[in-house]
A = this chain, B = another copy of it.
């Protein structure tokens, strides 16, 4: 009876690009990449699917905007750190963003020259420059770092997708355990090496492993170009 103002408060909030992107991120986080649908999004925003198109040209742009919104909140600089530390922090930022929003892993790999990745490229580049890498090698060095990050990103996104689809109620440790057991059961002739490192898969830490890869590339960069 007294709900008139209350209800309109919710209803009258006008549709905007910002609200749409926000709702899209929520849908992607909770329902996965397959869960983002113009119909589901419209229902979430209490409108019809056509309304969204007035604020956004299509699904591709919507995914791009969602990725930018997430990645944009991420490029903070730690003052007074070594270039190596800055690169580690930057890379970890991407890693963590993907952990909370696995779908940006797919999205980053999909938009090559587009802005979210270009920003990461720029920041990595400045640190590589600070490392003293000669100009002619800077592009190569940054590309190596970025491609590695993107590879991990894509892998994590795929893992999240598979995890959500197949065993949504198991933890990461449990998942690694089953994978490691499967590796240990492989044909000894064809997969001798993989069998041998199955134990390392079982008790590894994703973040640490990711950072170890970054360090490996950094070592290569400094050994070669410094």
Interface residues, chain A, with chain B CB atoms under 8 Å away: 109-113, 118, 121-122, 125-126, 129, 135-136, 138-144, 146-155, 157-159, 161-162, 179, 182, 190-194, 196-197, 200-201, 204, 209, 212-213, 215-221, 223-224
Contact = CB atoms under 8 A, between A and B. Distances in A.
B125 A197 contact: yes
Given A138-B197, A193-B125, A111 B223 contact: no
11 contacts: A109-B154, A109-B155, A118-B191, A121-B193, A125-B194, A135-B197, A140-B209, A147-B148, A147-B151, A147-B213, A216-B217
B194 A140 contact: no
Contact of A213 (B110, B140, B159): B140
Contact of A196 (B110, B135, B191): B135
Contact of A204 (B139, B153, B159): B139
* A interface secondary structure, majority: helix
B191 A140 contact: no
A155 B150 contact: yes
Contact of A154 (B135, B136, B150, B209): B150
A200 to B, nearest CB: 4
Contacts of A126: 192-193
A161 B114 CA distance: 14
A213 B122 contact: no
Contacts of A112: 155, 158-159, 162
A144 B215 CA distance: 10
